[in-house]
Amino acid sequence: MAGLEKNYFARGNTAAGLYTLYDSVLKGLDTVFVINGRTGSGTSELLNELAEAWRQTDWTKHYIHDALDQERLEGIILEEARIGIIDGNAWSADPVLEGTEIRILDARQTQREELLEEAEIGTKQQELEIGTLYQNAYDTFLITLRIHDEWEKFYIDHLDRETANRITSEFADHYLIPVRSKKASITRRFLGAATWQGAVDYVPNLTADLRTRIFVKGRPGSGKSTMFKKLAKEAEARGIDTEIYHCGFDPNSLDMLIFPELSLAIFDSTAPHEHFPVREGDSILDVYELAIQPGTDEAYADEIAGIRARYTSSMKKSIGFLTEAKRIRDEVWEAYDAATDQAALKALAVDIIRQVEALTNTSTLANE
């Protein structure tokens, strides 16, 4: 039977700039293959080839998506095999992980050298334009976040902190029961990202196999992220493994916690990642109803409507910069794609599969 498939992001286009959690995502793996070199869409195609080759294996596959374009992959992790395959352009120029073997693969071998040189020279100006567009997006995301801060203040000022703390403590005491005494493992990821198409999230996929899912409803500033931070700290103190999912817009904020040993998730289920209970084990925790002074929405309806409109407009402007960056990047990648030897790309994929087979004593390509 094919293993589980998990989808998420390791990087985000955020109000704090391009923010990466790769060091946490890859921590604890035995081997990481790093694909270095400019290949246009080639690395994503290679990763798709690998994903398809391992589709029916019983490993849990982690698919790490490109924060600009979620349709493209920039990494795969084979959980039980403790192996990762990562686009070196997405991680770092000099990757280091304590206790992990790093195997560097040169993707230039898949390129026709003379065409590669033409692509590198011909796309210099476009690369500069892409960099400027990203910076414009990040600057506008920061402006958008400051507008969001204005929105939050209405609810922060009317938050019953004693009730909010009680909700957090009661949740911890009811749900965070250690399975056994040990040191907790903490992993940080992004459940969603601000892509060229707007906000995208993988909450349904990441929580699909969990027994209990708590959908937290509320308003900006109603204490959701603060509650998650306190619960994450409490879980670590109790030795409970925790997957911490940061907000793809503001990485200093948390959007979801998953406790795999407890088959439990608690997550911010408001826009732009709004979801609703659909099965047994799902429930809603509405912190607005429980901890915000009644009538707050009504008392400040006009002011909040104005802020919401400014926030939406600013966010749309930010996404517009990413859309243009994606358009130009596609043009750049077309130039590199033209330099790619598809047979060599497939040969590199086969080489990675063979190395993984040797590491895991498996035979994905046994019949080839």
CB-based contact 214:285 (threshold 8 Å): yes
The distance in angstroms from the start CA to the end CA of the chain is: 21
Q: Is 338 helix (H, G, I), strand (E, B) or coil?
A: helix
Domain ranges of the chain: 5-111+341-360, 159-292
Rounded Cα distance between 238 and 175, Å, is: 12
CA atoms within 13 A on the CB side of 286: 7
Rounded Cα distance between 152 and 85, Å, is: 40
- Beta pairing partners, 9: 65, 190
Rounded Cα distance between 144 and 314, Å, is: 6
Q: In sequence order, which ranges of 157-250 are alpha helices (DSSP H)?
A: 161-175, 203-207, 224-237
The residue among 308, 161, 285, 171 whose CA lies nearest residue 218 is: 285
pLDDT, tens digit (0-9, with 9 covering 90-100), for 95-113: 789 999 999 999 988 989 8
- For the chain, 368 residues long, give each residue's pLDDT as a single digit of tens: 678 999 999 999 999 999 999 999 999 999 999 999 888 899 999 999 999 999 999 999 999 999 999 999 999 999 999 999 999 999 876 778 999 999 999 998 898 988 888 988 999 999 999 999 999 999 999 999 999 999 999 999 999 999 999 999 999 999 999 988 899 999 999 999 999 999 999 999 999 999 999 999 999 999 999 999 999 999 999 999 999 999 999 999 999 999 999 999 999 999 999 999 999 999 999 999 999 999 999 999 999 999 999 999 999 999 999 999 999 999 999 999 999 999 999 999 999 999 999 999 987 764 44
Indicate if the alpha-carbon torsion angle 293, 296, 299, 300 is positive or negative: positive
Q: Which amino acid would we find at residue 60?
A: T
CB-based contact 11:21 (threshold 8 Å): yes
Neighbours of 211 (CB within 10 A): 10
Task: Give the burial string for 70-87 (b: 16+ CB within 10 Å, else e).
Answer: bebbbbbbbeebbbbbbb
Strand 11-14 and strand 73-78: pairing?
Answer: unpaired
Contacts of 159 (CB under 8 A, 6+ apart): 221, 222, 223, 291, 292, 293
pLDDT computed for residue 116 by the predictor: 85
CA atoms within 13 A on the CB side of 316: 6
Enter the pTM of the model. Answer: 0.96
Encoded tokens for 103: 């195997």
Alpha-carbon distances, residue 258 vs 211, 241, 245 (angstroms):
11, 9, 8
Q: Is 145 helix (H, G, I), strand (E, B) or coil?
A: helix
